[in-house]
Structure 1
Amino acid sequence: MKRICVTLLVLTIGTMSCRKFVEVEQPNQRQFKYTADFQLLLNNVSLFEISASLPMLSGDDINLETNTSLQNQLTNELQNVYTWAADYYTSDNSDAGWDQLFNQVYVCNQITTNVMGSINGTEAQKRSIYAEAQAQRAAAYLTLINLYARVYTTTGAATDPGLPLLLSPDLFVPLNRASIQKVYDQIILDLTAALPLLPDNVSNNLHPGKAAGYALLARTYLSMQRYGEAADYAAKSLSIQHTLLDLKDYVNGAKPFPRRMDNPEVIMGKKVSKPGNIDLPLSTELLNKFTPEDLRYQLFTRSGSTFQPSFTGRGSYRDKLFFGDNVSAGVSVPEMMLIQAEGLARAGKKDEAMALVNQLRQKRFLPAQYTALTAATSDEALRVVIDERRRELFGTGLRWLDQRRLSKEPALAETETRVFKGVTYTLVPGDRYVYPIPPKNIELNPEIIQNQR
């Protein structure tokens, strides 16, 4: 069967239209027909909490130049990702990120297509489940479009190829790539339609509430470089959820750091794992942006001698504060504060932007060791915000999304260089800030055209 979702367990929802006298459930088989069944699908943590991990390897948070033993531990595919190669995979390999995110889309489509006709549920329950599926579909597409399509531009979005835009669970629809603009339009449509029906409070951060809906819109508009709208939606999200952890409470083991699903800073949980489950050294460029007093440096980084195998430098310790807890790349309170601050800085409101940055940073230092940051101009404030994003969000893969959008701004774009196994690789603005679509999927679905890189 030539389809995108090559690993998904095909659900039996399609049988719900059978004639009444043959609708008999067979032993050991389960049809999804009750409203509660569709909520159970959304409760699937192993499916819906997954996000893409490869950006952790693509971005400039890490550098392997002096660690040859770690270089040799990367698979061929991961080496290709790290060196921004023309191709990452052969037709014999699957791209887990692509498959997992499109699996989320498929299950969401099953829900939106069938939940309103389900039984033993109220209209309000059905509409709530429908809205949650819309938000989850939007979140999956937002990650996919930021990996497998070019950076959004106002001049190119209407014609640049985006993604197959799947809105129904039909396994045999054409998979031609819709434009980048159409994909973003659908993300925004899903989120704005879902928002009135999303709950104010959620049972846990796997499920999107109103704060998550606004936060996803903020991240969407940030990716589109529509910074005023991004800031507005970030502010709306923060009006609902704004709790910050005070890191001084967690240094030296004073209190156990909260797990991802218990962390009040996490607005919507999405986890990423270190590619190949290999601990990697942080780049000197990133580490130099910290001062030793920064509690993020103390809590979330460790000497390379701490890790197995050991390496030179320091590595990210976020996923090891609790064994096996992984890293959260979902929308969060600090990210919303920094999106709002960036929008303010770009709008010439440098003092308001710096006030937000300092509000966040005060929770990242001991009070006696903190000195507020200042900026003389809006451009200087903008650079402060971008540096703060690096310090606050490092090790999550979100830096890759920033590198993509900033590559379109000459004043902020950077040329990246890596030395890997004695060979120098360079990533210039406008170059390979788009992942290749897995060849396996193109061979199965020839209507999907490959990215030009």
Structure 2
Amino acid sequence: MKNILKYAFFFVTAITTVSCDDYLDVQPIGKVIPETLADYRAVLTRGYEAFPEHKSLITLRTDEMILDDFSNDFVYWKDIYSWNDGNADRITTDFQYDGLYNTIFYANVIINDANGKLAASADKDQLIGEAYALRAYAYFDLLNLFGKPYNPATAATDKGVPLALKVDLEQAYIPETVAKVYEQILSDKEEAKRLLNKDTQAKGLNYRFSKAALYAMESRIFLYQKEWAKAIEASNNALTYKNALVDLNATPVLPTSYDGVESILALEDVFNNNLKGSSYVSSDLLDAYDQVNDLRFGVYFRKSGGDFYFKKGGELAQKCSFRAAELYLTKAESSAQLNDLTTAKTTVLTFIKKRYNAAGYNTLSVEIDAMNQTELLDFIGQERQREFAAEGQRWFDLRRTTQKEITHYVSGDEYILIQNDPRYTLPFPQNARLNNPNL
């Protein structure tokens, strides 16, 4: 209990959340110290619930959307949309740095305290394995928001984020290097792999990690690290558990639903309703689609007047962190990077057959067959842009690949994010810097 209270002292956000919770508070005022498996499961559930909806905010920084100048929430997002990180209005929404550490706090309670209190069981192993996986995922997103993109040549010196793994009030929470944080992410991932025993989670509980979700996360980690062979292996492992794709020819529904056939981990609402109602689809994104033959166009977007709006996100049913489509595209990209064009082409054709009508698929199959490595990688990148529109993946994909130039307009003024702009890495939020001068 002493350790828990120390953690609460360090994590300001956790103090606010925990003080309203039934767990992690002092007994004399009628609260409960976690002791049983059910208690600790409730604690981890709070950790899952605390995982923030930051994917919506990073979509603001991409080439996917146009922010409506006349929306009620415009003032909260305009500086994010114009990449004005250094002199943002005080009412600008902060990226949820503290929210991700709040999730880490709950995961650490399980990792550090549950093991010594709970009797050995499969349920205990599953619980602690989930905590390791959730901590790894939180650090992965923290690093890809606030740390430099992974570069094996410079990762050992590039600035990452602080690691808080155990209670130590004397510790100076100084950002570790990108390499060090990835080392911790991979370590947590391996601990999770050792402990998790549920292949998949039942619908309604699939916000929790499973073996399938862990392998899906592993494939994303290795893709970002450019560990192509490992990314393929992880994708193949995940596909043994979840390989079904929504066939838009037969079932024209969004593939992001928590209860859909593609769902692997349904933790996040990746495009919240406020932003969904305050934006519309950019011409860059619209132009990326074959609007006649690509079946996603009619499923992902709706037209109103002269503008197109997103259908994804903003609903409880649409929770999506990992889904099967990503596994196919990761495997295809990684195979192409290794110049295994046969596997890459076979994999991408399997995927697009579920996304294009027969005419579109037949045309593309001929074109793909003739592609060289560069052309195929370009096509797979474009498929990722089309497939994961408004799911929070575009910013991360741009960071790890081209870091292209993007232009946005705010109230008639032009703002440009130049190619390889340092603003592809977010600064730590002001409140975090005030609370921790080491940042």
TM range (shorter): 0.7 to 0.9
Q: Deviations over 1:146-186 (max 9, x none)?
A: 11111111232112221110112556642111111111111
Q: Which amino acid aligns with 1:298?
A: G
Paired residues of 1:135 and 1:191 also in contact (CA < 8 A): yes
Given the alignment, which residue of 352, 359, 368 partners 2:343?
Answer: 352
User: What is the deviation of 1:63?
Assistant: 2.9
Structure 1 counterpart of 2:281: 282
Q: 1:52-201, aligned counterparts within 5 Å?
A: 52-64=55-67, 68-70=69-71, 73-75=73-75, 77-87=76-86, 89=88, 95=94, 97-119=96-118, 121-169=119-167, 173-198=171-196, 199-201=198-200
Aligned amino acid, residue 249 of structure 1: A
Distance in 2 of aligned mates of 1:100 and 1:327 = 18
Is 1:262 the equivalent of 2:284? no
- Equivalent residue for 1:5, pick from 8, 13, 21: 13
Matches within 5 A, 1:282-431: 282-291=281-290, 292-305=292-305, 312-319=306-313, 323-326=315-318, 328=320, 330-367=321-358, 370-371=361-362, 372-373=364-365, 374=368, 375-407=370-402, 413-431=403-421
TM-score by length of 1: 0.84
Aligned residue for 1:262, secondary structure, equals: coil
Give the corresponding residue for 1:410. none
Between 40-49 and 293-302, the greater mean CA deviation after superposition: 40-49
SS at match of 1:318: coil
Q: Distance in 1 between matches of 2:133 and 2:316?
A: 27
Residues 129 and 195 in structure 2, CA contact (< 8 A), matched pair in contact too? yes
* Gap regions ≥5 residues in structure 2: 1-8
Contact kept, 8 Å, 1:2 with 1:444, in 2: the verdict is: no
Q: 1:300/1:338 Cα in 2 relative to 1: closer, same or farther (>3 Å)? A: same
Corresponding letter in the other structure for 2:220: R
CA distance in 1, matches of 2:17, 2:93: 13
Q: The residue matched to 2:214 in structure 1 has which SS?
A: helix
Q: Does the Cα contact within 8 Å between 1:248 and 1:363 map onto a contact in 2?
A: yes
1:8-30 CA-partner distances (Å, limit 9, x unpaired): 31576587xxxxxxxxx546311
Cα deviations by residue, 1:261-320 (Å, 9 ceiling, x for unpaired): 212212112322338433411121211121223221111101134xxxxxx421211136
SS for the counterpart of 1:260 is coil
SS at match of 1:341: helix
Q: In the superposition, relative to structure 1, how do residues 52 and 315 fare at CA in structure 2: closer, same or farther (>3 Å)?
A: same
The residue number in structure 1 matching 2:49 is 46
Aligned to 1:22: none
Is the CA contact 1:50–1:270 (under 8 Å) kept in the aligned structure 2? no
SS of residue in 2 equivalent to 1:315: strand
Match of 2:6 in 1: none
- Which string of whole-angstrom CA distances, capped at 9 and with x for unpartnered residues, describes residues 55-87 of structure 1? 1111111134xx5434x7412x41111111133
Comparing 190-199 and 48-57, the one that deviates more: 48-57
Preserved contact between residue 159 and residue 180 of structure 1 (Cα < 8 Å): yes
CA spacing shift, 1:176–1:423, aligned 2, 3 Å? same
1:337 Cα deviation from its structure 2 partner: 0.7
Distance 1:90 1:182, change over 3 A: farther
| Rounded Cα–Cα distance in structure 2 between residues aligned with 1:211 and 1:326 | 19
Q: Please say if residues 206 and 270 of structure 1, whose CA atoms lie closer than 8 Å, have aligned partners that are also in contact.
A: yes
- Name the SS for the 2:309 alignment partner: strand
* Alignment root-mean-square deviation, CA: 2.6
What is the count of residue pairs matched by the alignment? 416
- The answer to whether the 8 Å contact 2:259/2:317 transfers is no
Quick check: 1:225 aligned with 2:226? yes
Which structure has more relative contact order (CA 8 Å, sep 6+)? It is 1
Deviations 1:318-370 (A, max 9, x none): 136xx554452x12110111011001111112232122111111112344653
Please give the alpha-carbon distance, in whole angstroms, between the structure 2 residues aligned to 1:138 and 1:225. 18
CA shift for structure 1 position 98: 1.4
The structure-2 alpha-carbon separation of the partners of 1:257 and 1:430, relative to structure 1 and needing over 3 Å to count, comes to: closer
CA distance change for structure 1 residues 30 and 2 in 2, over 3 Å: closer, same or farther?
closer
Structure 2 residue identity aligned to 1:232: E
Does residue 445 (structure 1) correspond to residue 439 (structure 2)? The answer is no
3-state DSSP class of the match of 1:270? coil
User: Among the aligned pairs, what percent are the same residue?
Assistant: 27
- Structure 1's unaligned 5+ residue stretches are 16-24, 306-311, 408-412, 449-453
> Partner of 1:404: helix, strand, or coil?
helix
How far apart are the structure 2 equivalents of 1:225 and 1:424?
34
CA distance in 2, matches of 1:150, 1:439: 18
Contact 2:199–2:212 under 8 Å retained in 1: yes
- Shift of the alpha carbon at 1:142? 0.8
